Amino acid sequence: MTKLHKPSFYAGILVALAVVAQAGEDTLFDEIVKQVDADALVKTARRDGQMRLSGLSKYGYGKRASEAGK
């Protein structure tokens, strides 16, 4: 059962992911993303301009179909 969260929840997760990505903790990063709705997380990051800072783009989350083949 997936629990729906407010955008502020995802904004907080993005901050945590930025810290984890900065520390280079790849496995922890992936585990955090797997525990939440990754699509909603990416949507929030794109809306707030946080794809790079959060590490989502670094770890390949949220690639658009046009970028996936590159």
CB-side neighbour CA atoms (13 Å) of 69: 2
CA angle 20, 59, 17 (to 5 degrees): 25
Say whether pLDDT at 6 is over 90.
no
pLDDT, tens digit, for every residue of 20-48? Answer: 999 999 999 999 999 999 999 999 999 99
pLDDT, tens digit, for every residue of 52-66? Answer: 999 999 999 988 654
What's the pTM value of the predicted model, to 2 decimals?
Answer: 0.81
Burial of residue 14 (CB within 10 Å: 0-12, 13-18, 19+) is buried
On average, the pLDDT of the chain sits at 87
**Chain centroid, CA 13 distance in Å:** 8
Place of tokens 């903790």: 25
Say whether pLDDT at 7 is over 50.
yes
